[in-house]
């Protein structure tokens, strides 16, 4: 099929040519021919996103209370991710008070978990539910976006030993720029933990436009393994561990009786072989010396 100019756009992550691959509800998703990244195009403007979150617009975000809850479930590979995160929290506990930043803090559940291990905690959350959680639980949750951090006085001179971005990456207008900002606030040797939908998954391959994680226009980016590695490499971040979890049902009508039980077994198997549609990735910031070596090796 001959493609017209309107069918192509530079990849939001690696800049290679990307082609329209899915149309849904009047929105178009493009797929990069080089890194496999899937993204909404045109990408909404930053002000449009800011207004959407501030107004609790359900086109952009649904059920903020659920943030991180599925990581606490014990039946899937999420348990492995939660155990690993708790190990990071325990290391902080052993080292005395350490600094934790939760980006997209939602209702502050993860911040409270970190506090339990003795960490100093701060969150950012552009949606109004962040302020409700801050008042209810006496937490410091700032109503700002990643892009506002460099100009905020509250972030001047700050560095964090652990930063989490759970269900955030897919919502960002420009993940390359945003990750550059986040990395600047990560102390050398510090850890960064992300969870995001992955398009190198059985969920996407089997359902395409009907994949339940295609939520438009809120979910702008769907990372492949390669596009995420490209993003991390640009910031000189090392991937320590990547865990996949089958987040959405494998079988149709999986919420009904016995089918639901079979589906839970299938989800577990899909997660075990690394084809789940959610990825939880643990990264660390390299020391300045390692960054120098890495940069020398780049073209
Ligand atoms: Zn690409």
pLDDT tens digits, 48-98: 999 888 887 777 666 555 555 555 554 556 788 888 999 999 988 777 769
Percent of the chain predicted with pLDDT > 90 = 65
Helices (H) and strands (E) in the chain, counts: 9, 12
Return the number of other C-beta atoms located less than 10 Å from residue 189's C-beta.
Answer: 10
Q: How far apart are CA 161 and CA 107, in angstroms?
A: 21
Return the number of other C-beta atoms located less than 10 Å from residue 210's C-beta.
Answer: 12
Among the ranges given (29-33, 76-80, 113-117, 233-237), the one the predictor scored with the smallest mean pLDDT: 76-80
208-237 confidence digits (pLDDT tens): 999 999 999 999 999 999 999 999 999 999
Among the ranges given (50-59, 97-106, 257-266), the one the predictor scored with the smallest mean pLDDT: 50-59
Q: How far apart are CA 15 and CA 145, in angstroms?
A: 24
pTM, entire model: 0.90
**Under DSSP, is residue 282 helix (H, G, I), strand (E, B) or coil?**
strand
Counting the structural domains of the chain, the total is 1
Ligand 1 geometric centre to CA of 273 (Å): 25
Domain at 123, CATH number: 3.40.50.150
pLDDT on residue 294: 55
Ligand 1 geometric centre to CA of 295 (Å): 20
pLDDT on residue 164: 96
Ligand 1 geometric centre to CA of 259 (Å): 38
Ligand 1 geometric centre to CA of 23 (Å): 19
Ligand 1 geometric centre to CA of 32 (Å): 5
Q: How far apart are CA 46 and CA 172, in angstroms?
A: 9
Identify the domain containing residue 77 by its residue range: 5-296
């Amino acid at each position: 099929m001959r493609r017209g100019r309107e069918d192509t756009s530079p990849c939001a992550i690696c800049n290679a040519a990307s082609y329209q691959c899915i149309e849904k509800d009047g929105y178009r998703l493009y797929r990069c021919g080089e890194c496999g990244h899937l993204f909404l195009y045109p990408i909404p403007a930053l002000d449009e996103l800011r207004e959407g979150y501030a107004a609790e617009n359900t086109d952009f975000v649904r059920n903020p209370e659920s943030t991180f809850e599925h990581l606490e479930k014990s039946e899937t590979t999420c348990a492995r991710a939660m155990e690993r995160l708790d190990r990071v929290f325990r290391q902080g506990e052993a080292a005395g008070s350490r600094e934790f930043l939760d980006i997209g803090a939602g209702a502050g559940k993860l911040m409270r978990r970190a506090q339990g291990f003795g960490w100093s905690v701060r969150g950012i959350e552009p949606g109004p539910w962040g302020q409700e959680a801050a008042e209810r639980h006496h937490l410091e949750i700032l109503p700002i976006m990643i892009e506002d951090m460099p100009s905020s006085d509250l972030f001047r001179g700050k560095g964090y030993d652990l930063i989490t971005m759970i269900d955030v990456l897919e919502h960002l207008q420009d993940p390359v720029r945003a990750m550059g900002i986040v990395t600047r606030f990560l102390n050398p040797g510090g850890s960064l933990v992300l969870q995001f939908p992955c398009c190198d998954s059985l969920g996407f391959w089997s359902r395409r436009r009907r994949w339940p994680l295609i939520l438009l226009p809120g979910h702008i980016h769907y990372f492949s393994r390669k596009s995420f590695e490209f993003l991390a490499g640009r910031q000189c971040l090392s991937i320590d561990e990547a865990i996949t979890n089958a987040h959405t049902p494998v079988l149709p009508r999986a919420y009904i009786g016995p089918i639901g039980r079979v589906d839970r077994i299938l989800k577990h198997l899909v997660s075990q072989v690394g084809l789940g549609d959610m990825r939880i990735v643990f990264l660390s910031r390299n020391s300045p010396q390692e960054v120098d070596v890495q940069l020398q090796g780049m073209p």
